[in-house]
């Protein structure tokens, strides 16, 4: 049978597995009830042009949403997310889940627009965020969310006031400034061409005046509007007694501008309005690139907070009620149902259940919690109902403190002072002193004020930070593009520099050094058995160990068929029991075997899985988290670069040590909670280390933001990727080594560039001081020095993969 695409979501399935509908003119195939429902809904609403717009794009199959809708109309929810305007309209910001293409955006907007009472609905396709304004007297939010769900998408609320607004505003301001700068410099460019042509072929003063005035008019807004950022930077620098790049750029630009106005008025000498705009434009574009990256981090953070419940079930003397989490006080008893996320820390008082704590520890194996055990917010209740006593209120619970810490650290990331900034600081100071000395010297020897002033200004102009300003951006730009080709994404240019200076690499275990899922190491059959039976048993469970066994079986045997089992019962944190043709089949850990009185061999360092039929042990499997390929080589290579390597993990000591031993890491910190990981990073900071941290989970997120450079593995949690400075897309440990090498190579190029431009200044400055610099020499030498810097930066491209140059 041929695989067919589902009429709604376009995913292909085998025909036999699909729901088929016969219509007079066509036959429809659906992969599931959800897709079928959505299709008919759209047909009825007359929105079927959606499928023409969709084209070949595949969607997620529409699955019915089980989460209750009531919470959207509760008071606590309203206070938190809904904003009421003066017209009495409600406004909310949502993140829409399941948007794949522009047709999805179109459909969602269309459906919302059609709803009675919805006044405005706009969806941003780039980040899937939506703004909805509605009339609360006509329609309730729960109805709006229900509508979005009914067409196969889901929506979470988020609070945009935190950071998004600020980030967007800065970005827009920069963008407008760049537009003005580019417009000004492009126009001045072609006027300057006429100018230079006139210089060589001879031009009447009247024409020169016209060109001068035109350049003046264009340069003025560029200097004062676009260049405002540098004046502000220079002013703050002045207040804090720091001379920085901004000081040099703004004094250079202002002096050149003033001199050009003087030349324009007095009608002798040349104007340099073109260099004024060029300096501003180039350096501004460089700064803009740095601003760009922050936004993504904020988008992801909103997703985490949006998916946490705002209400919990409070049990008070046997009466259950939904209560807003802000109203929970220490000592309240809370009921937790399967599938619910914990938002308040506490201690179990009744029942027991498995919890997925992967968000906190990074470990995929669920842990079983029973009476007296601590429950941490951020974990997920998996299989049964539990009552627990709150030990903290909502705001001091672990999850909210994680989010809070993340918010803080996005804005307060430690940065190493940039090399170019330090050098250019001294440089600017030196130039200003030399220019002043030149002026005084010429004035005293010749007594000609005007000549002395012109020569002093020409010193500043020739020392124009063109080459110096280009030194860092050019090298980092090429460094970034070379690493992007090797699937290493540096989010900001300066990270290359910081990484090159790093002294310590902190690695997460699960997901970074290891695959993050257990796989079978050894398989010891004690008696011959039918693998189909075991296959059927492990297929009933989604526990990572079962999946590891299943994966192993499908690789070891070509033909497997799940036999029908009866009375399947999974026992929390122990295993699965089932019956097949009257025989009892057991699969699980040692405590399950002990419960049924089956003796097991002594435990090892690894995870053990036993398989028994009736009362005999049939086989046992040893499982372990496997190392990623190349992890050992990576640790070795990074150590060879002179960088200390440590391991931070939420896993228990035993398995942490065994992995560390295999890859050759001496320093190991185990059983860490997210905050503790961050504390260790802080501790290293105090010792003066520059830290690179590589991780993949939410549990690493705080530590990632605390470290100087955060590397995320591409397959990790969204939030880890968002918090990181460097993303390794191919998830290969080898790429971490590559990132180190490339950053060191780029840093070397930056240093070379800086020396080149300083050398240029060392030659050109004395000439300027002596008054030998004509406009021609100035123009030629400026471009030459910039070309040298660009050429040197291009050499980074020659850096070959795996090369060990330092």
Partner 1 sequence: MSENIVILMIGVSTFLGALGLIALLWGVKTGQFDDQSKFIDAARYDNEEELRDAVMMEQKKADHKKRREEAIKKRTMPVD
Binding site for partner 1 (CB under 8 A): 53, 87-89, 102, 105-106, 110, 113, 118-120, 123-126, 135, 168, 172, 175-176, 179-180, 183, 187, 191, 206-207, 210-211, 214, 217-218
Secondary structure element (H or E) that encloses residue 587, with its range:
strand 583-588
User: Which residues, 6+ apart, have CB-to-CB distance to 524 below 8 Å?
Assistant: 619, 620, 621, 622
CB 37 → partner 1: shortest distance, Å? Answer: 24
- C-alpha to C-alpha distance for 694 and 510, rounded to whole angstroms: 11
- C-alpha to C-alpha distance for 366 and 382, rounded to whole angstroms: 8
Of residues 303 and 707, the one with the C-beta less far from partner 1: 303
CB 154 → partner 1: shortest distance, Å? Answer: 20
Q: CA of 140: how far to CAs of 108, 157, 488, in Å?
A: 17, 14, 46
DSSP letter, residue 511? I
Token couple for 345: 């820390």
- C-alpha to C-alpha distance for 782 and 462, rounded to whole angstroms: 7
- C-alpha to C-alpha distance for 647 and 680, rounded to whole angstroms: 11
DSSP letter, residue 463? T
Nearest to 261 by CA among 422, 509, 457, 98: 457
Token couple for 163: 């950071």
Of residues 110 and 287, the one with the C-beta less far from partner 1: 110
What residue ranges in 214-332 does DSSP mark as E strands? Answer: 311-316, 319-324
Nearest to 735 by CA among 634, 645, 803, 629: 634
Nearest to 57 by CA among 97, 107, 5: 5
Of residues 123 and 538, the one with the C-beta less far from partner 1: 123
Let me know: does 748 contact 755? Beta carbons within 8 Å. no
CB 290 → partner 1: shortest distance, Å? Answer: 19
Of residues 175 and 236, the one with the C-beta less far from partner 1: 175
DSSP letter, residue 342? P
Active site residue 85: no
Of residues 54 and 475, the one with the C-beta less far from partner 1: 54
Of residues 227 and 674, the one with the C-beta less far from partner 1: 227
CB 586 → partner 1: shortest distance, Å? Answer: 53
- C-alpha to C-alpha distance for 521 and 551, rounded to whole angstroms: 12
Let me know: does 372 contact 347? Beta carbons within 8 Å. yes
Helix, strand, or coil (residue 153):
coil
DSSP letter, residue 574? T
Of residues 158 and 747, the one with the C-beta less far from partner 1: 158
- C-alpha to C-alpha distance for 804 and 438, rounded to whole angstroms: 47
Let me know: does 446 contact 438? Beta carbons within 8 Å. no
Token couple for 617: 């042990």
Let me know: does 134 contact 117? Beta carbons within 8 Å. yes
CB 48 → partner 1: shortest distance, Å? Answer: 13
CB 179 → partner 1: shortest distance, Å? Answer: 6
Q: What are phi and psi of 491, to 5 degrees?
A: -80, -25
Of residues 168 and 804, the one with the C-beta less far from partner 1: 168
CB 175 → partner 1: shortest distance, Å? Answer: 6
- C-alpha to C-alpha distance for 271 and 249, rounded to whole angstroms: 18
CB 123 → partner 1: shortest distance, Å? Answer: 8
Among residues 274, 302, 332, 508, the one annotated as catalytic is 508
Of residues 113 and 661, the one with the C-beta less far from partner 1: 113
CB 214 → partner 1: shortest distance, Å? Answer: 5
CB 98 → partner 1: shortest distance, Å? Answer: 16
- C-alpha to C-alpha distance for 591 and 650, rounded to whole angstroms: 24
Q: CA of 666: how far to CAs of 492, 506, 727, in Å?
A: 31, 12, 26
Of residues 298 and 488, the one with the C-beta less far from partner 1: 298
Secondary structure element (H or E) that encloses residue 4, with its range:
strand 3-5
Residues 510, 515, 516, 517: is their CA dihedral positive or negative? negative
- Which sequence positions are flagged as catalytic? 508
């Amino acid at each position: 049978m041929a695989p067919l695409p589902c009429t709604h979501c376009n995913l292909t399935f085998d025909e036999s597995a699909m729901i088929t509908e016969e219509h007079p003119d066509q036959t429809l195939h659906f992969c599931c009830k959800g897709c079928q429902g959505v299709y008919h809904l759209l047909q009825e609403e007359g929105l079927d042009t959606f499928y023409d717009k969709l084209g070949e794009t595949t969607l997620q199959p529409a699955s019915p949403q089980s989460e209750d809708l009531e919470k959207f109309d509760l008071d606590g929810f309203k206070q938190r997310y809904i904003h009421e305007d003066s017209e009495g309209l409600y406004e909310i910001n949502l993140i829409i889940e399941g948007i794949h293409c522009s047709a999805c955006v179109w459909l969602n907007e269309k459906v919302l627009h059609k709803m009675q009472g919805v006044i405005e609905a706009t969806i941003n396709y780039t980040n899937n965020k939506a703004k909805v304004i509605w009339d609360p007297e006509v329609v309730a939010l729960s109805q709006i969310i229900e509508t979005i769900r009914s067409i196969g998408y889901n929506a979470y609320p988020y609070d945009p006031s935190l950071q998004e607004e600020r980030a967007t505003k800065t970005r827009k301001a920069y963008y407008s400034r760049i537009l003005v700068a580019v417009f000004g410099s492009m126009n001045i460019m072609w006027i300057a061409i006429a100018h230079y042509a006139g210089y060589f072929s001879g031009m009447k003063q009247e024409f020169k005046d016209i060109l001068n005035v035109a350049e003046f008019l264009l340069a003025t807004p560029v200097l004062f509007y676009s260049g405002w950022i540098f004046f502000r930077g220079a002013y703050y620098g002045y207040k804090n007694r720091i001379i920085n790049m901004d000081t040099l750029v703004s004094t250079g630009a202002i002096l050149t501008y003033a001199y050009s106005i003087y030349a324009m008025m007095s009608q002798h000498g040349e104007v340099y309005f073109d260099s004024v705009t060029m300096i501003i434009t180039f350096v501004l574009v460089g700064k803009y690139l740095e601003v760009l990256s922050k936004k993504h981090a904020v988008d992801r953070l909103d997703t985490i907070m949006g998916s946490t419940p705002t209400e919990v079930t409070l049990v008070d003397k046997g009466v259950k009620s939904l209560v807003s989490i802000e109203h929970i006080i220490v000592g309240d008893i809370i009921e937790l149902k399967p599938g619910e996320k914990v938002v308040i820390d506490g201690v179990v008082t009744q029942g027991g259940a498995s919890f997925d704590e992967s968000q906190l520890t990074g470990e995929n194996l669920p842990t079983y919690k029973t009476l007296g055990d601590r429950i941490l917010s951020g974990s997920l209740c998996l299989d049964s109902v539990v009552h627990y006593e709150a030990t903290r209120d909502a705001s001091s619970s672990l999850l909210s403190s994680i989010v809070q810490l993340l918010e803080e650290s996005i804005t307060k990331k430690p940065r190493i002072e940039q090399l170019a900034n330090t050098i250019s600081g001294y440089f600017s100071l030196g130039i200003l002193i030399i220019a002043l000395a030149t002026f005084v010297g010429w004035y005293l020897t010749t007594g000609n004020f005007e000549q002395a002033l012109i020569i002093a200004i020409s010193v500043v102009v020739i020392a124009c930070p063109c080459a110096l300003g280009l030194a860092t951006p050019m090298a980092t730009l090429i460094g970034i593009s070379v690493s992007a080709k090797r699937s290493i994404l540096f989010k900001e240019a300066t990270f290359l520099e910081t990484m090159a200076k790093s002294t310590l690499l902190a690695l997460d275990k699960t997901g970074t050094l290891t695959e993050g899922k257990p796989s079978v190491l050894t398989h010891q059959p004690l008696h011959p058995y039918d693998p189909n039976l075991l296959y059927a048993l492990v297929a009933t469970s989604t526990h990572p160990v079962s999946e590891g066994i299943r994966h192993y079986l499908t690789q070891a045997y070509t033909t497997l068929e799940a036999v029908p089992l009866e009375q399947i019962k999974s026992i929390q944190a122990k295993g699965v029991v089932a019956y097949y043709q009257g025989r009892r089949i057991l699969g699980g850990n040692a405590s399950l075997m002990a419960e049924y009185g089956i003796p097991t061999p002594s435990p090892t360092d690894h995870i053990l899985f036993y398989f028994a039929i009736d009362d005999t042990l049939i086989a046992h499997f040893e499982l372990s988290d496997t190392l990623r390929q190349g992890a050992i080589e990576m640790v070795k290579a990074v150590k060879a670069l002179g960088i200390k390597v440590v391991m931070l993990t939420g896993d228990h000591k035993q398995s942490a040590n065994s992995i560390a031993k295999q890859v050759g890491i001496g320093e190991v910190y185990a059983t860490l909670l997210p905050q503790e990981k961050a504390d260790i990073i802080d501790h290293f900071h105090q010792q003066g280390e520059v830290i690179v941290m590589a991780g993949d989970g939410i549990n690493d997120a705080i530590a990632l933001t605390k470290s100087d450079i955060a590397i995320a593995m591409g397959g990790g949690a969204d939030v880890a990727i968002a918090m990181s400075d460097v993303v390794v897309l191919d998830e290969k440990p080898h790429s971490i080594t590559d990132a180190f090498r490339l950053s060191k190579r780029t840093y070397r190029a930056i240093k070379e560039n800086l020396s080149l431009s300083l050398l240029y200044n060392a030659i050109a400055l004395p000439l300027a001081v002596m008054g030998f610099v004509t406009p021609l020499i100035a123009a030629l030498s400026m471009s030459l020095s910039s070309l040298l810097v660009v050429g040197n930066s291009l050499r980074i491209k020659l850096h070959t993969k795996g090369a060990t140059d330092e």
